[in-house]
Amino acid sequence: MVALARSRVTPPQGADDAAFETDVLAGLGATPKRMPAKYFYDATGSQLFERITELPEYYPTRTEMRILRDHGADIAKLIAPGAALVEFGSGSSKKVRILLRAAPPLAAYVPVDICGEMVEQEAAELQPDFPQLKVRPVTADICFPFDLPAEAKAAPARVGFFPGSTIGNFEPHEAAAFLRNAAKILGSGATLIVGVDLIKPAEVLNAAYNDKAGVTAKFNLNLLTRINRELGGTFKLDSFEHHAFFNRERNRIEMHLASLKRQKVKVAGECFDFRAGETIHTESSYKYSVESLGALARKSKHSPATLTFWRFRLARCISMRLRSRLKKA
Ligand code: AVJ
């Protein structure tokens, strides 16, 4: 539990209680009602997500692990010896282990996650397996600028690692802003290795977000439990239902929590009305094509000239290399 105690020393940036309350109240006050997906990841939510990754229907994690195993050596060539590796939204750090085994000696590995407990604990578990590596966890919201540890700042180069199709949780304009923010954090000229889920048949997508065991439903509903606990909410969990479907027009999975009846809910002293069937849009998971991801990168002003795609035949995820040519802002 040393890891847990240490996590309190690192102040969560942009992920504090005040931001949670502000965002939840704004989201419930909006029409249609919505909630930022990043708030799924409290300790329980992070554990539930780990269970999702093991579900038979949920292919992205398994597929990406396979890509990393089959092509780890090639992907690792993007990392110069002595560089610092910064992982955005590191979660369980399972994927980076494969990359670390293939990578040259590094100045540091910096896992960054919004869930402080998770990032500290995973770092503590990773360290003994890579005794030479300086593991320097950071608790931060990756949507905002954050400070890198001294070892990473001093390194001659920084490489970002953003697997898991987490980029799909952002609206396209937010994803472009994320790329700009990552370039600012890593420094101009840095490389970012991104894993994205590709557009695929609706049946496959719908099954992945509507698993038979109901773990995704639990993950979705846990957001209400968190609001009840942290913001004095009065959500009744049995009067909301998990809805997930592929929106073909926008190439995104939408997750919603649907109110099963007309009801009032209080959060942080404010009252909110729900019609029967009204939903809170809790997550979008955008699916990309090689072309649409390239267009996004260009829009975010990362040089298209140095864009390299990793195409993996038969695989359902792709990784993309972006070399930021941003002038220092
Ligand atoms: C962690 C954002 C990649 O969108 O597939 C899984 C989260 N939500 N099942 C995804 C999630 C429901 C996941 N990401």
For residue 313, with 0-12 CB atoms within 10 Å meaning exposed, 13-18 middle and 19 or more buried, which class applies?
Answer: exposed
For residues 211 and 55, the answer to whether their CB atoms sit within 8 Å is: yes
Q: How far apart are CA 262 and CA 239, in angstroms?
A: 10
State residue 289's pLDDT score: 86
Q: How far apart are CA 189 and CA 158, in angstroms?
A: 9
For residues 284 and 297, the answer to whether their CB atoms sit within 8 Å is: no
Q: How far apart are CA 236 and CA 227, in angstroms?
A: 11
Q: Tell me, yes or no, if the pTM score tops 0.75.
A: yes
Q: How far apart are CA 5 and CA 10, in angstroms?
A: 10
DSSP letter assigned to residue 240: E
Q: Find out whether the peptide bond into 32 is cis, omega within 30 degrees of 0.
A: yes
The best mutation among 51, 95, 118, 165 to test binding of ligand 1, ranked by most ligand atoms within 8 Å of the C-beta, falls on 165
DSSP letter assigned to residue 166: G
Average pLDDT over the chain reads 86
Q: How far apart are CA 328 and CA 317, in angstroms?
A: 31
Q: What is the mean pLDDT of residues 125-144?
A: 95
CA distances 90 to 46, 138, 296, Å, are: 11, 10, 22
Q: How far apart are CA 301 and CA 328, in angstroms?
A: 13
Q: State the distance from the centre of ligand 1 to the C-alpha of 254, rounded, in angstroms.
A: 10
Q: State the distance from the centre of ligand 1 to the C-alpha of 58, rounded, in angstroms.
A: 9
Give the H or E element holding residue 18: helix 17-29
Nearest-atom number in ligand 1 for the CA of 169 is 2
pLDDT digits (tens, 9 = 90+) for 158-183: 999 998 889 999 999 899 888 888 88
Alpha-helix residue ranges (DSSP H) falling in 212-270: 215-231
Q: Ligand 1 in contact with 52 (CB < 6 A)? A: yes
- Residue with structure tokens 């890509």? 67
Question: Parallel, antiparallel, or unpaired for β 33-34 and 279-286?
Answer: parallel
Nearest CA, atom 2, ligand 1: 166
Domain locations in the chain? 13-57+216-286
For residues 68 and 95, the answer to whether their CB atoms sit within 8 Å is: yes
Q: Ligand 1 in contact with 89 (CB < 6 A)? A: no
Give the H or E element holding residue 68: helix 60-76
Angle formed by the axes of helices 60-76 and 94-102, nearest 10°: 20
pLDDT digits (tens, 9 = 90+) for 120-134: 999 999 999 999 999
Nearest-atom number in ligand 1 for the CA of 219 is 12
Nearest CA, atom 1, ligand 1: 166
Q: What is the mean pLDDT of residues 284-301?
A: 84
- Return the percentage of the chain with pLDDT > 90, whole number: 61
Please, which residues have CB within 8 angstroms of residue 59's CB and are 6 or more apart in sequence?
A: 204, 208, 316
Q: State the distance from the centre of ligand 1 to the C-alpha of 285, rounded, in angstroms.
A: 7
State residue 318's pLDDT score: 57
Q: Ligand 1 in contact with 168 (CB < 6 A)? A: yes
Q: State the distance from the centre of ligand 1 to the C-alpha of 161, rounded, in angstroms.
A: 17
pLDDT digits (tens, 9 = 90+) for 179-228: 888 888 988 678 888 888 888 899 999 999 999 999 999 999 999 999 99
Q: State the distance from the centre of ligand 1 to the C-alpha of 32, rounded, in angstroms.
A: 21
Nearest CA, atom 11, ligand 1: 49
